[in-house]
A and B are shown apart, each in its own frame.
Chain A
């Protein structure tokens, strides 16, 4: 893992309850950390700084897409080879970071996604029934457009290669970016693959998607995935 410069990017919006725990869980990982404070109104940024982690402060709340893209841009200009997206809310398990990195290094893929659904023998939080149904719909949609079966398209636990970082620095969807970014990747002839991970139920903060919004979420994601298909290929030279 040391031959590569690895950065773990943690986009955080009002995560003062979990950010410290999340940072602590990542200490054992042989990688640099970066918190992108997405215009939090609490002291998320201050806590992260106190933990000695570099913090990028966004002056206004851009949403997870805009925050994550800032992280990718930082990774690009600071010469990182691998950038990992890691949620601040305690959902992701730091123990699986090496698995993502190893797969990225060993495979042809430019994005490795940590999937909850690839292996059913793993324990861990799998999300609710409704969400899984929606997730399955997205799996079909992504398969239809890219011809690739991604079992967990909404997973925000992912590792991007240098090329992936360069692409996402240029183009990254702003709201609910995970499924759409897979199509963007496909449109630029980059491959994605998955490794099985376990996730925790989120400990603090609020879920980004409330149940009542999930139908709207599906419509939005479907539309954005659909439109991305017609935006054309290779808009960014990699």
Chain B
């Protein structure tokens, strides 16, 4: 069952390398911060390793005592996905908290500023 056909082999490798390059470009464009990119580089490296040496999967499955290599892959990848998801939840909560503090601080400063200068926000506008 471990004999992948060569086309599939090649395709898996191309996609994996493409993925790593994509992550790389996202970091270069500042769309992804370096610290957030590390996990994806690791995952990309894992993809590449698996497409070059599919027998790794067999080895891991044996280690885990799982009959099918593909089952081991599903298990490992879904656990990894859950961990990443959870970390994202934490990041979002932190970002929300930071956003709350910022919003409150700006609003309070603006109120103080308006009081000092006697200028109100869009006094003449309104619809």
Contacts and interface: CB of A to CB of B under 8 A. Distances in A.
A113 to B, nearest CB: 24
B110 interface: yes
**A interface, how many residues as a size bin?**
20 to 34
B83 to A, nearest CB: 22
**B interface, how many residues as a size bin?**
10 to 19
Interface string A46-60: 110110001111111
Interface string A79-117: 000000000000000000000000000000000000000
A55 B111 CA distance: 7
Contacts of B108: 56, 70, 73-74, 77
B97 to A, nearest CB: 9
A12 B111 CA distance: 16
Given A70-B107, A73-B104, A74-B108, A60 B99 contact: yes
A69 B108 CA distance: 11
A45 B107 CA distance: 13
A214 interface: no
Interface stretch (B24-32, B53-61, B115-123): B115-123
Interface of B: 99-100, 103-104, 106-108, 110-111, 115, 120-123, 125-127
Interface of A: 36, 43, 45-47, 49-50, 54-60, 62, 66, 69-70, 73-74, 77, 174
8 contacts: A45-B121, A58-B107, A60-B103, A62-B104, A70-B107, A73-B108, A74-B108, A77-B108
